[in-house]
Amino acid sequence: MSDEVAHLLGRAQGGDAAAMERLVRLHLGAAYAVALAVTGDPVEAEDVVQDAMVAALTRLGDVRSPESFAPWLLQIVRNRSRNLLRSRAVRSALPLEHAASRPDGSSPLRDTERSELRDRLRDGLATLPEVQREVVLLHDMEGWKHREIGDSLGIPEGTVRYHLFNARRALRARLSALLREDG
C-alpha cells in the first residue's frame, strides 16, 4: 500500500480530487478506529473523522513523505478527538420519536442483545488507557499489523504487542465480570 499511497499523495498534492478521495477511502477505517478510541462514541467519532479528513486534505502540502501520511493523518484525528472532548458540553439525546426504524427484519430481542453487547464492549474499551484502545481497535477492527500501529503511534512494535495483550486481557476480565453479574 505504501507505493499506492505515495502515488496518490503526489497526485492529491497536485489537486487531483480522485486521488484525494482514494486516500480518504484507504484511511477511513483507521481514522474512525482512532476517533472511536478517543471519544468512545460512534456518532462523535464519525463527526471527528469527517472534520479531520477535511482538515487533512486542505493541508496535504504539510506531509513530508508518503510513509508519514498515515501517522500524520491519525494524529490530526487524535487531536480533533481530544479537542472535541475538551469542548463538549452537556450531551443531548434524540427523542424516541426521531429514532430511525430498521426495515431489515431484525427482531427487537436480537437488537437489544446486540445493543447491550455493544454497550458492554464500549464500556470495557472506555476503561482502557487511550493507547490501548487505539491499539486494540486498529489491530482487531482494522487489521493493522503491529509494525504499522507502532509507526502510527511512534512506539516500538514490541510495545504495541504488550498493549494489545494487556488490552485484550482487561477486556476479557471486564466482560467476564459483567456476564457473571448477569448470570
Percent of the chain with pLDDT over 70: 88
Encode pLDDT of 148-181 as tens digits. Answer: 999 988 999 999 999 999 999 998 888 888 777 7
Q: What is the mean pLDDT of the chain?
A: 85
* Same domain, residue pair 125 and 170: yes
* CATH number (domain holding residue 138): 1.10.10.10
| Type of residue found at 106 | S
User: Tens digits of per-residue pLDDT, 33-45?
Assistant: 999 999 988 999 9
Judge if 34 and 81 occupy the same domain.
Answer: yes
pLDDT beyond 90 at 47: yes
What's the angle, vertex CA 101, arms to CA 97 and CA 103, rounded to 5?
A: 160
HSE toward the beta carbon, residue 148, CA cutoff 13 A: 17
C-alpha cell at 105: 427484519
Phi first, then psi, for residue 180 (nearest 5°) are -65, -40
Residues 6, 80 within the same domain: yes
pLDDT at 98 over 50: no
Q: Which domain holds residue 45?
A: 2-86
Q: Are 71 and 147 in contact (CB under 8 A)?
A: no
For residues 47 and 26, is the Cβ–Cβ distance under 8 A?
no
Q: What is the pLDDT of residue 166?
A: 94
Has residue 116 been placed in a domain?
A: yes
Tens of pLDDT along 120-140?
Answer: 888 888 899 999 999 999 998
Q: And the C-alpha cell for 49?
A: 473523522
In the listed set 49, 71, 86, which residue is the last one of a domain according to the structure?
86
Whether 6 and 79 share a structural domain? yes
Domain count, the chain: 2
17 φ, ψ (degrees, to nearest 5)? -65, -35
User: Looking at the domain assignment, is residue 101 inside a domain?
Assistant: no
| 99 occurs within a structural domain | no
Residue closest to 45 by CA, chosen among 74, 69, 77, 88? 77
What pLDDT, on the 0 to 100 scale, is given for residue 113? 76
